[in-house]
Amino acid sequence: MNKAPDPADFIQPLNMNGLSGRMLYLPAPKKHNREILVIYGHHALLERWWGLVQNFNDYGAVTMPDIPGFGGMDSFYKIGQKATLDNYADYMAAFIKMRYKRRKVTIVGISFGFLIVTRMLQRYPELTDKVEFLISALGFMHHDDFTFTRRRYLFYRYTPLLFLTPVTAGLFRYVGLNALVLRTAYRHTHNAKQKFAEYARNDELSERLMDMEIQLWQQNDVRTYMKTTIEMLSVDNCQKKINLPVWHVHTKKDHFFNNRIIEQHMRVVYGDFQGANIDIKTHAPSILADKKASAVMVPKELRRLLSKTDKAK
């Protein structure tokens, strides 16, 4: 029996603009020369999206870098900057210019990652010529895309302001994100209930899920998490057009977003829009999802298009 691939075998150091992190790189399979850049979303870790990147690896070489403040990478605050969407856009533009130079690239932006991609293309329109294909994986465009009640929206939008200083962020990290506290309380929070419900009858998987959640919470910089939450809940990426088509993967059961409004916003900005609905019960697949379980994120329509355009080169 072949041993399942280990993401650790494909992870290498990443140093960008004075910040240290990691980058996952999977070489292209034979007869494929597409370059695919995956930009992960909020509450992130390279290992969290291992199943998904294996699916995209069927169509080319896949690179997924850490972004500042997530996955254990140094935060913007280390170099005296804030975790704003503009700074993430500048960082990603620098990465693409460094990594791909004269090559074209297919870009996959996952949720918050798609916000970064959109803002980057708006700030650096010259990069549109480098984009071979643009994919929104559960992405969004505007704070009005959220489906939160007014009360919940205000709570998520303004509570993070309390944790933007080094002192309050430190207290939250070492008290609120202590492993014992997370094991005791996290599964009972509003957003976590659906995650754990899937494994309610499997103690082993439920424990693995908790271990991964602890890793995610503890490896993401608190000030970065709080600032980017504010950015998401106040974002307006609909002010400048982008001369590219977008392919949007979404789910009707998304508990965060209204996909009808997202489509309207994407059509305002992008030159063309195509989309496909996928069958998952929450905003994204489980953080334990392997390649098979993550395959739903690359629907058959998208697979046909990736195969067709790759063969046409």
What is the domain partition of the chain in residue ranges?
7-148+237-311, 161-227
When the pLDDT of each residue in the chain is averaged and rounded to a whole number, the result is 92
Tokens representing 26 are: 């999977």
Q: d(Cα 131, Cα 175) in Å, to the nearest integer?
A: 43
| pLDDT tops 90 at residue 288 | no
Which pLDDT score is estimated for 203? Answer: 80
Looking at this protein, which amino acid is placed at residue 127? L
For residue 108, the cross-strand partners are 38, 135
Tell me: the pLDDT tens digits for 182-229? 999 888 787 777 777 777 787 888 888 899 999 999 999 999 999 999
Q: d(Cα 302, Cα 274) in Å, to the nearest integer?
A: 10
Of residues 151 and 309, more confidently modeled: 151
Tell me: the pLDDT tens digits for 23-38? 999 999 988 889 999 9
The CATH fold assigned to 7-148+237-311 is: Rossmann fold (3.40.50)
Tell me: the pLDDT tens digits for 61-117? 999 999 999 999 999 999 999 999 999 999 999 999 999 998 999 999 999 999 999
